[in-house]
Structure formats: structure tokens, C-alpha cells
């Protein structure tokens, strides 16, 4: 199924089970790519939606890493249909084994959910791997990011607020200093269901908690900010 990458003039061809979702859109909007960035990696790129978005924000080389073969092939295809082969590429690798050094920026929309004997997982193996920590845990992701980033490199991630204490702990242990945090709420008076995080490897202490992002004014009524995000208001001016 061919569809537009929301807010851009790009296209993405994807199977329904590979479809990117709101998490992808929110993370893409949150990422601020430093002006001197030369290499940007997307850990767990899926069908490539995030790297397509990043091509609108930076002129840097952008590399997706994807362990699942079908999703890797889909990402390559989506790079090709947008004629972005000079800037974008994708590697079929396990993040835990990837040999990356001195990355300027790493972004990731990782699996959110831990797996235990009581976990109810999807019957589809691909979706299970994408949503649950069966092949990549939070700790393994952070270890890989910390190892791959250069001194002062930036790491951007979206995750679940109920795991924030764990996230802070594992980031601190791997010398990733959290610099920006933004909570995402479905409604003004509802608890957050996502948290957006920017960290710097060996960064100085000092964290900014940004104003919350509210998605809906009422049922099926988007806030102005979410309308702007879906419309890609920022992408025309951010490419550096």
C-alpha cells in the first residue's frame, strides 16, 4: 500500500503490519538534528519511515539498522522510490552486534514492552519483535547507543512513561545525560502515555522538561499542535 509520509512530499510503500504509527510521527517531530551532524542512525528502522522524515531535517548521511529481513527490504524499497539513495541507506543487522563508531546522532522508536510468562504477545512474529523486548531490551538498546555515539553525540528516543525511572537509571549508567524530556498526553487531563527523550553522551548535567504535548481537545478533535505536526509545519525550515 502506497501512502504519503504525513507532512512531507515523500512516499512510503508498506504492508499493513509494517505501517508506521503516531510514535514515529511524534519522535520525528521531536528530533532536533545538530547543524554539524555528519551521520545519523535509526536503530530499528522498520520500513524506513523515520529515516525518510529525517531526510527533511538534515543533509547528513542517514543509515537505518533493521534486524528483520522483510522490513529491511521494505526500507530499501522506500529509499529507492523516493530517489534518496545518495543520502539514505539501510543495513540488515542486529543492533547489538553492529560495529558503529562515532555516530553524531542516533534515534530509536524501540519495543516498549517487557516480556514475561504473563505477557500477551501478538500472534504475528514480526509485530511481536517490533513491540515487545524479545530481540532487543531497553538495556541492550542503550548499551548499543552509548557504544556507537561519539563524545557529545545525541540520542533521541520515544518510550513509555511508566518505565521512566528505569530509563533514567540505565542512561546514567551508560553516561547518557538526559537533556530534554517531553511528555505526551492523549487529553489535557489524562496521564501521559508516551515520553520523548533527548540525551547527550558525556553531556553536562541539566535537563529541560518541555511543556506537555496534548494530542486531542476532545474525541476525534486534534489539538492545533498535533494538526501542525501532521501537516509537517516544521520540516520545510529545519533541514541543515
Would you say residue 18 lies in a domain? yes
Domain assignment present for residue 240? The answer is no
16: domain CATH number is 3.40.50.150
Residue ranges of the alpha helices (H) in the chain? 22-30, 49-54, 69-81, 125-131, 138-148, 164-173, 224-231
With beta carbons less than 8 A apart as the criterion, state whether 43 and 141 touch: yes
Q: Which domain holds residue 194?
A: 2-112+121-231
How much is the pLDDT for 54? 97
Reading the block at residue 29, the C-alpha cell is 517531530
Residue 96 lies in a domain: yes
Residue 78 lies in a domain: yes
3-state helix, strand, coil in the chain (%, to 5): 30, 30, 40
* 106 sits in which H/E element: strand 103-108
Q: Is residue 83 part of a domain?
A: yes
0.75 exceeded by pTM: yes
In a domain, 201, yes or no: yes
51 is written with which cell numbers?
A: 529515516
Residue 236 domain-assigned (yes or no): no
Phi/psi of residue 202, nearest 5 degrees: 60, 30
Are the C-beta atoms of 84 and 110 separated by less than 8 Å?
no
d(CA 96, CA 94): 5
Domain assignment of residue 237, yes or no = no
pLDDT confidence of residue 129: 45
Number of domains in the chain: 1
pLDDT profile of the chain (240 residues), mean per 10: 88 71 94 97 95 96 95 96 98 93 95 57 50 74 96 97 96 98 97 97 97 95 94 65
- Dist CA 65 CA 114 (whole Å): 21
pLDDT at residue number 236: 53
Using CA atoms, how far residue 6 sits from 31, 154, 191, 227, in Å, is 16, 25, 26, 11
Q: Which string of b and e fits 31-50 if b means at least 16 CB within 10 Å?
A: bbbbeebebbbbbbbbbbbb
Amino acid at each position: 500500500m502506497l501512502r504519503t509520509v504525513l507532512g512531507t512530499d515523500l512516499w512510503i510503500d508498506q504492508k499493513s503490519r509494517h505501517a508506521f504509527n503516531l510514535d514515529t510521527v511524534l519522535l520525528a517531530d521531536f528530533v532536533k538534528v545538530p547543524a554539524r551532524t555528519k551521520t545519523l542512525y535509526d536503530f530499528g528502522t522498520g520500513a524506513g519511515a523515520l529515516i525518510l522524515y529525517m531526510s527533511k531535517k538534515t543533509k547528513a548521511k542517514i543509515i537505518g539498522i533493521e534486524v528483520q529481513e522483510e522490513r529491511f527490504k521494505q526500507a530499501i524499497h522506500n529509499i529507492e522510490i523516493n530517489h534518496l539513495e545518495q543520502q539514505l541507506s539501510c543495513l540488515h543487522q542486529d543492533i547489538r552486534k553492529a560495529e558503529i563508531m562515532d555516530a553524531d546522532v542516533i534515534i530509536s522508536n524501540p519495543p516498549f514492552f517487557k516480556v514475561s510468562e504473563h505477557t500477551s504477545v501478538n500472534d504475528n512474529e514480526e509485530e511481536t519483535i517490533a513491540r515487545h523486548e524479545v530481540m532487543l531490551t531497553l538495556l541492550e538498546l542503550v548499551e548499543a547507543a552509548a557504544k556507537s555515539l561519539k563524545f557529545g553525540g545525541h540520542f533521541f528516543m520515544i518510550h513509555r512513561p511508566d518505565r521512566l525511572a528505569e530509563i533514567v537509571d540505565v542512561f546514567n549508567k551508560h553516561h547518557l545525560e538526559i537533556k530534554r524530556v517531553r511528555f505526551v498526553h492523549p487529553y489535557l487531563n489524562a496521564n501521559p502515555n508516551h515520553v520523548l527523550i533527548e540525551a547527550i553522551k558525556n553531556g553536562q548535567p541539566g535537563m529541560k522538561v518541555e511543556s506537555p504535548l496534548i494530542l486531542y481537545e476532545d474525541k476525534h478533535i486534534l489539538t492545533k499542535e498535533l494538526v501542525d505536526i501532521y501537516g509537517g509545519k516544521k520540516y520545510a525550515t529545519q533541514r541543515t
